[in-house]
Structure 1
Amino acid sequence: MESMRGILHKTSVQEAHERQAAAFGPPSVAGQKRDWSTSLDDAERKDSPFGSGSGYGSGFGSGSGLGFAPASASQGPVRFQKALYLPQTAPRLSASRIVTANASEDASEYTQRRIFAATPSSSIDPELSLAHPVYKLPPQLVHNFASLGIKQIYPWQKSCLKGPGLLTGDKNLVYCAPTGGGKSLVADLLMLRRIIEEPETKALLILPYVALVQEKVRWLRTVVQGLAPNIDPGVLEKQKANSIWRLRPDHGSLRVVGFFGGGKIRSTWQDFDIGICTLEKLRAVVLDELHMIDDDHRGYLLELIATKLLSLEQPIQIIGMSATLPNANLVAQWLNAHSYETRYRPIPIEEHLVCEGKVYHIGTNGATAHKHIKVEEISQGQVIPTRHIEASDHKEFRDPVLNAVVSLAYETAMMGYGSLIFAGSRSICESDARLISRVMPQPHDLDSATMDKRMDLLSELRSLSTGADPVLEETVLSGVAFHRTSLAFEERDLIAEAPARRVILHNARMGREYVGPSMLRQMRGRAGRQGKSPVGETYLCCRQDDLEQVLDLMYADIPEIASCLNTENKRVQRAILEVISVRLANSHDSLLDYFSKSLISYTHDREFVETCLRSGLEEIHDLGLIVNDSYSSFTATQLGRAIVASSVDPYDGVFIHAELTKTLKAFVMDGEMHILYVFTPVQDFGIVVNWQVFRNEMDALDESGLRVLRFLGIKPTDVLKFARGVPLKESTPEEKELARVYRRFYLALQLRDLCNEMPIHVVARKYDSPRGSVQTLAQTCQGFAAGMIKFCEQMGWGVMAAALEHFSDRLMAGARTDLLALAKIPFIKSRTARVFWENGYRTVGAIANADPKELVLVLMQAQPNKLRIKGKADERYEEKLLAKANVISASANRLWQVQLQAEIAEE
């Protein structure tokens, strides 16, 4: 170790780059600054070394779209001496000219601002100040909000907060406000009031996506910085004595913890004040995106959580919010809540329709400029377009919809603003990005500040452990990026920050189907942001053939939400089993009483509810998940409790039980494929198997792996047929079950490579899958693995649970066993952990005692194909790595202290 560390002390930044190049090949020249006189040889002009990506278009549902940075922030283009070399793989194109047809009808920025009266200030209405006594907020909290730019609230927020019993926590709240209207602040203030006023209580915040959880954790930690909880001194001293290692250096602040993923969170109930957690000593629960309650896949979870809260005899304030909740009053009635709705939006949004190159002004913020426009009114010229997009001479832009998308995006960039384009598939998204990048100004036509930002972004993308999307590499330097589920999480975070003045929809389809009114409103609501752009604009571009459906969609009302609990989707069965298992109800009458508190009783009649309950009880009884005694009371069986503990659906749980029971009789323990197969989720991922890859991986399996194939019923001869193009049959129930086994094994092969430190982007390329899908698989498997461990524990299968526990750690670390200790440190996972190990840092203590500047050199070696940059860009890069190294050092020190105290306690 000492000799290796000595080498590191001598290693310079340049030598670290050279060592990386020797190990992983020469870095790409994309994104490097070069003098225009510098010439590149043919080798430097090759395409990105990351290969081609493939996968599924995320469509509208997950926010798939393109982002376009302003072409220049200056008054005019400024040339600079050192520029980026951008390989020209296709000739430059030009965007079509957009002509104003009737200036008097085209709303200007001035007319838009005139429509919306200026928001009153706190000098006019003192109660708009967060420091006003009516809100009873601590001065430190008011100061923290002010440092984040929030010094006063909007009038609607004041009216909402002052609703009956809300500030005191005596009444629940359901409210609806447009995206960008400031609805999250209301929930934050009410939640913080509860835990500040009542020491030792907790708040639960429920969000639909992991990325939102992570973002909210960062935000709230900043909000509560230095905000001391009102803890009794005696209680604090007791905590210090019993668990001193749990106290953070900033224990004077309220503690915010995010709970997600595989359930391996080390924090306990005592370690946080705000978090996503189990139901216990709660005082406030925030349900964001409440409209998702009728989502077919996860909506029932929101409903069951709220129903359980309503069934508990505890004073818990429920705060539900949404941007699109048409029947908010009904939801408020269900939750026994005060209802508040506003359509106020600080940034006005002008809405337009584009068809055959003609731009029609539809309205402002949902207030239509005309009555429902008919197709015949447009075709007969009764509705006058405000602008016209000229036809293009380029064959690439013969499609008028594409031409409109490109021209509107280009126009936005030339005005110095960003735009967001939604596309209905991955291929359209990538094609739009490439084509728009070809009309954007070349690097030498832009100012150095703009290009430095793009360089930084490209550098960040290339330095990710997942590598960079090859299409993004082509387009980022032209100010074009896109956002979809096939990208890695880190890529989405990096490119999701830029605000959009203009939202452009490339048609209104998701795949072949039209999007719904609710989704359309959410996408259009992304235009404009307070403090970023004075106005927002939306343009829905469509073909003539789609015009009638698109017009109906634009004017359609948002459908009312309803409970998604029913017997067909098996949600009622899950709900009944869960309630009986946790003993909230154990008889037919008590189950009826429980369901009377659920949304299903407010959106369906009593007969429907009783039918669902009766049918659901029969099904889970026949599955052996519940039994009823002589007193007609229901009790969950051991299998029923295991299914609830593992958070799987009843029918999936029965399938898992059958497979594990079989596995226990002949578990292949001399390899890792069998246990990885057990880890693979049973639900359908929409995976498309590349049978040639499956065949190649099957041929490379050792004897242990082949025994797993035989055990699972996978026939090598069938795999060979599928690789030759014979389709996989899925007609009968038996064929469907076998097809699920084949797909699970294909995913298990990917998990095997991830656990053996193969980088995500390499796994994605190897198995012909999007990097984002591979990353999602790894994350989902962590949660599923945690569920399987609980399943085995509930069933009394201790040996199986212990084996799964070990591999669960490896799955989370993405590394072999020898690196598990290092992988507990933030930023050190998989390949990065291996680089630390190979450089002599093989224990947490070694990293804790190292100078962070030494760690920077190791981190540089761990970056895949890191760009070679010079000057200020080099300094910025080193600063970022040093900041990361400081976090690693601090975290390693904390872990090391815990280890030392544990060793002392054992002596």
Structure 2
Amino acid sequence: LGVPNELLEVIFNSELNENEDLENSILNCSNLNSSFGSIIKKALISNASKAGTSNRNVSNNINATLVDRSFQCLGPFYGLPNKLKELIKLYKGIDEMYDWQDECLRLPAIEIRKNLIYALPTSGGKTLVAEILMFREIMCYRRNAIFILPYVSIVQEKVWALSPFGIALDFLVEEYASSKGIYPPRKRRRKNSVYVATIEKALGIINSLIESGRLHEIGLIVVDELHLIGEEGRGATLEACLTKIMFLKADIQIIGMSATIGNLPDISKFLNADIYTKNFRPVELVEYVKCGKEICKVNWNYSEDSDLLVEVRKIDYKYSESLQKIDPDMLGGLVMDIVPKGSCLIFCASKKNCENVTNLLCRLCKPELKNYKKEEKEQLIHALKDEGGELCDILRVSVQYGIAYHHSGLTSDERRLIEEGFRSGVIYVICCTSTLAAGVNLPARRVILRSPYIGRDFINLSRYKQMVGRAGRAGLGEVGDSILITQPQDLPKVKELLMSPMNQALSGMHLLEGKGLRHLLLSCISLGIANTRPQLQQVAKYTLLAVQSEVLEVDLKKLVDNIIKNLFKLGALKESCGKIKEKVTPHGDVSVKMDTSTVNDSLHESTQTKTKKVVVLSNSTKLVVSELGCAAIKGGLELSRAHLLYEDLSDAQTCLVLQGHLHLLYLVTPYETADQIKPNMQVYYDIFTRLKPNELKVAKTLGITESVAMKMRSNNSIKNVPERVINRFYVTLMLYDLWNEMPVFQVSEKYQITRGIVQNLMTVAATFATNVVNFCEELEEFWPYAYLLKGMGQRLSHCCVKELLPLMELPAVKQSRARQLYNAGYKTLQSIAKANAADLVGSIEFMSNRVANQLIAASKMLLLERVENLREEAQDVLDGVQNIDTSFNQSKRS
């Protein structure tokens, strides 16, 4: 196949050539003597005839294609062409499948399209199986697939990784994360798509396809890290997504993969899925526990006659007395055993501990380590400086030794550079928090757990396995090892940990008074999936919560009835005309007491007279979602947040300050972030005193006056302004600086907040801004907001000068990388798509060949998506013209 870029170039150019006439015809529609419709029609029909296939036939056959469930075998590689096998070797470096992968891909569940859960240790090769199944779905079944991943960064990484395959195999890779992605997804006539989505975005895709009657377009849903279904909060969102698929009995295969589920039978019952498990690792993992100077091997075959921990050696690194004091655990010696030729991950209990350990290792390492790959380290330091405009003091020193820390306090750009440095061997020690084990694929020769704690909590077996599973890498040695460092007082708890069963994934739908289940049921009513009590009870029976109700001691029927009551009281449901009886009814009906001053059919009506009435729902009563409930669903908002947002938007209507963006930014400042960031009151006061008159007007509109600011300065309690408003405006000021293109590093220093949190604020605010627009579009009284706030989400996700915006459409490309590309002459997606990897590597500091090739592929994928969008829009016009012609001819005949 040659160089990856050469392969993609041929395919990419042929794709663009195929569509060139269509684009030119539309762009050149300037003849004023012809109607726009006739020009479009002529151009499209001409283009269709050149292609040899009538677009009308393609359009007419869409439904037939979607209904057709037959498998079209395209080759010997699990029904796929050998070309895919060559692509896997080219882009993943994999020559042969593992035996377990081959066995899994030939399971009866795969052949009959039954749901499947497969669980293997970390680094076992699970993802490749899922990707091959997606390729089969798209190419052999000709239906779309959804790939659900837990974090935005992983979604972006996966979009990069799949783009070369999409170009070569003629499918689209569409990103659904942060502010990316539209609902419902654009309907495609010519190509199928893989929607790579976060959990929340995947739910949005499913909801929009149900609402538009297009759920049949999806043939496969792959869920990575399936154990997250047991995570509080987001787990309920994932459970809701899968519950809808199961309840609707949609012809969609669900593939779940995980390394860390202890109650697989529960999940299997929930999804009606087969289970496939193997204890396979491509590289042997040897696990140790270090206590004092003793290194003990974990004996997983322990019995009454053998110990769990078997001492294998005592370590003595000949520390001086001074070294012994600063490094009593001999961490430096354990690291120096393998670096710089081998790599090491050190998992620490907290972000601060990551930085402290990094500093410690710099004091312990041999000076000659600075000379190892010295030039590459200098390039990395320069690249890190360019990313944020500054470089923290710790990394400035530690990178010279090949050591770095990695946690959420860093920007995504800094983390990405450190990860790339680790993969290339320039960085050989990373001190990180446990989230790296879940979010980034960085295998190492040795993994060290600095202590058996995450924060103040003792680790569980699932988290332990996830971290130590990063030890060992296929192709780089035959063994990997892990060392858990513990103190004598914690040794009994460590033994208990190692002997404990794997942690279970338990439903969180019932927590917080059934918050997760409440959102699911409200959504089902809104989508028309279920709208009576019995139907909602039936939906609840399809949840994981129903499977685990006995273990969790949850009365599901009672919980559903209580949720229906609460939905009325929260104003999310309203009375359907003539269907609700206001009197006592036979046993089995639900009595709902409402306060009519707060629950009205019209949101902008209110009454000062508070009266109580009993609303009784029979089993046949049709439940109707109120305007507020619909808005909350469309905005992806929990009901309490929806009420708060409604209140804030209503208050702002009479006094909205439009002399700048500050007040609008306040309205899209995410509540959750404002709850988490506590203002530094002295900093707050200093910033307040420097606000311009128009900015002060916004502050005073919110009730934050000079007298309030003085109380901030003296740390006195503030009673006349809610704390949530004060906190939220502080976060708004951070957003305002970012909006005005202040670098993340400067905002971080100004507000004394870690730069990672500052950058994440942009991502979260971009998502929330989009949610607010969707919310406002459902409420007629807020139509001005829908126009005023539209587009803010996209700008918030970038916060950069306009010239960089086209480049920042690329997955995971932030402002600094976009600036590097722009300064190197790559000012458009087209210029990157036409580049070759060697030129990019030579132009952009510390860019590897791997990243350069992925960047080029991602650019080409975005351009091809635009071409497809253009074709679809034009075909929609053509279909409309043809329908008009047909109607006209019929009317003439009649």
Paired letter, 1:697: I
Give aligned pairs, total: 711
**Structure 2 residue 387 is the aligned partner of structure 1 residue 468:** no
**Structure 2 residue 269 is the aligned partner of structure 1 residue 333:** yes
CA distance in 1, matches of 2:236, 2:820: 44
Distance 1:744 1:146, change over 3 A: same
Distance 1:178 1:767, change over 3 A: same
Deviation track 1:673-725 (CA, whole Å, cap 9, x = no partner) reads 21111111111452132222111111111233223223323354344334344
Q: How does 1:34-73 map to 2 (within 5 A)?
A: none
Instruction: Kindly state the Cα deviation for residue 132 of structure 1 after the two structures are TM-superposed.
Output: 8.9
Per the normalisation by structure 2, the TM-score is: 0.72
Partner of 2:145: 203
Deviates more, 1:258-267 or 1:350-359: 258-267
Instruction: Kindly state the Cα deviation for residue 133 of structure 1 after the two structures are TM-superposed.
Output: 3.9
Equivalent residue in structure 2 for 1:459, among 382, 387, 404: 382
Partner of 1:392: 319
Instruction: Kindly state the Cα deviation for residue 799 of structure 1 after the two structures are TM-superposed.
Output: 1.3
Partner of 1:75: none
CA distance in 2, matches of 1:823, 1:132: 38
Paired letter, 1:491: E
Distance 1:568 1:550, change over 3 A: same
**Structure 2 residue 447 is the aligned partner of structure 1 residue 503:** yes
Paired letter, 2:409: S
**Structure 2 residue 680 is the aligned partner of structure 1 residue 690:** yes
Instruction: Kindly state the Cα deviation for residue 479 of structure 1 after the two structures are TM-superposed.
Output: 1.1
Partner of 1:644: 633
Deviation track 1:423-464 (CA, whole Å, cap 9, x = no partner) reads 1112211111112122323247745xx333323332332232
Per the normalisation by structure 1, the TM-score is: 0.71
CA distance in 1, matches of 2:537, 2:846: 61
Instruction: Kindly state the Cα deviation for residue 393 of structure 1 after the two structures are TM-superposed.
Output: 2.4
CA distance in 1, matches of 2:668, 2:407: 26
**Structure 2 residue 378 is the aligned partner of structure 1 residue 431:** no
Partner of 1:794: 778
Deviation track 1:198-244 (CA, whole Å, cap 9, x = no partner) reads 22x100000001111122122222344422xxxxxxxxxxxxxxxxx
Instruction: Kindly state the Cα deviation for residue 334 of structure 1 after the two structures are TM-superposed.
Output: 1.3
Deviation track 1:469-504 (CA, whole Å, cap 9, x = no partner) reads 432221011011121111111222222353311110
Partner of 2:565: 618
CA distance in 1, matches of 2:696, 2:736: 15
Deviation track 1:641-667 (CA, whole Å, cap 9, x = no partner) reads 110111111111111111111111221
Q: Determine what percentage of the aligned residue pairs are the same residue.
A: 28
Partner of 2:882: none
Instruction: Kindly state the Cα deviation for residue 777 of structure 1 after the two structures are TM-superposed.
Output: 0.6
Equivalent residue in structure 2 for 1:268, among 180, 183, 186: 186
Partner of 2:668: 679
Partner of 1:491: 414
Conservation of the 8 A alpha-carbon contact between 2:179 and 2:770:
yes
Partner of 1:167: 111
Instruction: Kindly state the Cα deviation for residue 394 of structure 1 after the two structures are TM-superposed.
Output: 4.6
CA distance in 2, matches of 1:786, 1:310: 29
CA RMSD of aligned residues (A): 3.9
Structure with more contact order per residue of length (Cα contacts < 8 Å, sep ≥ 6): 1
Partner of 1:571: 516
Partner of 2:241: 305
CA distance in 2, matches of 1:219, 1:795: 40
Paired letter, 1:615: N
Distance 1:658 1:370, change over 3 A: farther
Aligned to 2:484, the other structure's residue is in SS state strand
Q: How does 1:171-186 map to 2 (within 5 A)?
A: 171-186=114-129
**Structure 2 residue 724 is the aligned partner of structure 1 residue 740:** yes
Partner of 2:212: none
Paired letter, 2:759: Q
Deviates more, 1:130-139 or 1:888-897: 888-897
Distance 1:314 1:635, change over 3 A: same
Distance 1:131 1:810, change over 3 A: closer
CA distance in 2, matches of 1:196, 1:311: 27
Instruction: Kindly state the Cα deviation for residue 765 of structure 1 after the two structures are TM-superposed.
Output: 1.4
Conservation of the 8 A alpha-carbon contact between 2:412 and 2:756:
yes
Which runs of no fewer than 5 residues in structure 1 stay unpaired?
Answer: 1-129, 228-252, 860-871
CA distance in 1, matches of 2:723, 2:775: 24
Distance 1:141 1:543, change over 3 A: same
**Structure 2 residue 492 is the aligned partner of structure 1 residue 548:** yes
Partner of 2:46: none
Equivalent residue in structure 2 for 1:528, among 430, 452, 472: 472
Partner of 2:330: 404
Paired letter, 1:257: E
Partner of 1:759: 743
Paired letter, 1:470: D
Partner of 1:627: 574
Instruction: Kindly state the Cα deviation for residue 622 of structure 1 after the two structures are TM-superposed.
Output: 0.2
CA distance in 2, matches of 1:149, 1:311: 40
Paired letter, 2:419: A
CA distance in 1, matches of 2:861, 2:508: 44
Aligned to 1:262, the other structure's residue is in SS state coil
Partner of 1:421: 346
Partner of 2:525: 580
Aligned to 2:254, the other structure's residue is in SS state strand
Conservation of the 8 A alpha-carbon contact between 2:226 and 2:257:
yes
CA distance in 1, matches of 2:135, 2:770: 31
Partner of 1:814: 799
Partner of 2:84: 141
Distance 1:882 1:552, change over 3 A: closer
Which runs of no fewer than 5 residues in structure 2 stay unpaired?
Answer: 1-72, 197-201, 207-214, 424-442, 580-619, 878-894
CA distance in 1, matches of 2:369, 2:704: 58
Deviates more, 1:509-518 or 1:452-461: 452-461
CA distance in 2, matches of 1:417, 1:658: 57
Aligned to 1:579, the other structure's residue is in SS state helix
Paired letter, 2:527: V
Conservation of the 8 A alpha-carbon contact between 2:702 and 2:725:
yes
CA distance in 1, matches of 2:160, 2:854: 16
CA distance in 2, matches of 1:308, 1:458: 49
**Structure 2 residue 543 is the aligned partner of structure 1 residue 598:** yes
CA distance in 1, matches of 2:312, 2:158: 43
Distance 1:596 1:558, change over 3 A: same
Deviation track 1:29-76 (CA, whole Å, cap 9, x = no partner) reads xxxxxxxxxxxxxxxxxxxxxxxxxxxxxxxxxxxxxxxxxxxxxxxx
Conservation of the 8 A alpha-carbon contact between 1:131 and 1:137:
yes
CA distance in 2, matches of 1:411, 1:824: 43
Partner of 2:611: none
- The answer to which structure has the higher helix fraction is 2
Q: How does 1:884-899 map to 2 (within 5 A)?
A: none
CA distance in 2, matches of 1:149, 1:889: 22
CA distance in 1, matches of 2:847, 2:116: 48
Paired letter, 1:258: E
Conservation of the 8 A alpha-carbon contact between 2:240 and 2:543:
yes
Distance 1:885 1:655, change over 3 A: closer
Conservation of the 8 A alpha-carbon contact between 1:577 and 1:636:
yes
CA distance in 1, matches of 2:277, 2:863: 49
CA distance in 1, matches of 2:104, 2:854: 41
Distance 1:535 1:895, change over 3 A: closer
